[in-house]
Amino acid sequence: MPAWHDRPMRRLLAPAIVLALTTACAPAPVRNPMATWVPSKNFDQRGAVLIVLHATEQGSVQKSLDTLRGDNGRGPVSAHYLIGRDGHIYQLVAESARAWHAGGGSWGTITDLNDASIGIELDNDGHADYTDVQFDALVRLLADVCARRHIPRSQVIGHADLAPTRKTDPGAQFPWQRLHAAGFGRWPEDAPADPPPGFDPWIAMAAIGYPLKDRVAAVRAFHRHFRGRDDGDSPDAAFDDDDLRILYALARPKN
């Protein structure tokens, strides 16, 4: 009968050893004590469906590391990644965890952006151009994250896109067209066509994902993203003919 007695012992020991090896670097998985744990091998990670790009709007990587890892005067904030102007990539929060980077806002039907996204901060004071090595590091990171987490490459947006009344980052100087040429985010085709009569730009904006509670703020966010133009706080921001062509190109169904 020794085999009969040994087996449960081995069953107990093996998880204990695994636990001892893993507790130093990761918390034990949360299981519901009211159920019997009968693990299946058939699963993968879930969570993020979107990637949100930010500018730190601070003076240095070290200052941003302090902000994103500390208590912060206006409440704690974080992001999954921070990319320095020298191209160094820092990871601050595990991708499976919910970082506090997006705050209030919405994108399409998504209303809890922290829940649904990976946040990437780019070291930038809010005015400077992004460096080539920083941009290249971002592209490498996006390729890696999108592939591993099965996030569509088009699903890369800016903080200001989801929160146009509160945010302006990553700013009008962020090279969205270049990012699209590298395979990420959305950008209209070359020489987009005139929209047909009756085209409603607001339906197109909503279809892309923009929140429309404040339509002028949404136009300003659109201009930062797709026109490289900063309207500041202008209450008069409005669509022009080029905007309408871009909106039509972005929102019309693809064949």
**DSSP string of 9-78, one letter each residue:** HHHHHHHHHHHHHHTTTSPPPP--TTS-----S--------EEEEEE--SS-HHHHHHHHHS--TTS---
What's the closest the beta carbon of residue 124 comes to Zn ion, in angstroms? 11
- Pick the binder of Zn ion from 80, 159, 223, 224 (CB under 5 A): 159
CA quadruple 214, 212, 208, 94: dihedral positive or negative? positive
User: Residue 169, interface with Zn ion (CB under 5 A)?
Assistant: yes
Cβ nearer to Zn ion, comparing 159 with 225: 159
Binding residues for Zn ion restricted to 5-64, rule: CB under 5 A:
54
Strand-pair category, 89-91 with 81-83: antiparallel
Least distance CB 55 / Zn ion (angstroms): 7
- Angular region, 185: left φ>0, alpha ψ -120 to 50, beta rest: left
- 90, with CB counted inside 10 A (0-12, 13-18, 19+), is middle
80 binds Zn ion (CB under 5 A): no
Residues in contact with Zn ion, total (CB under 5 A)? 3
Cβ-based nearer residue to Zn ion, 85 or 159:
159
Nearest to 209 by CA among 194, 222, 195, 190: 222
Nearer to Zn ion (CB atom), residue 52 or residue 145: 52
In the residue annotation, 189 being an active-site residue is answered as: no
Rounded least distance, CB 167 to Zn ion, Å: 6
Please, what is the minimum distance in Å from the beta carbon of residue 248 to Zn ion?
29
169/243 with CB nearer Zn ion: 169
Where along the sequence are the contacts to Zn ion (CB under 5 A)? 54, 159, 169
Residues with a known catalytic role: 121
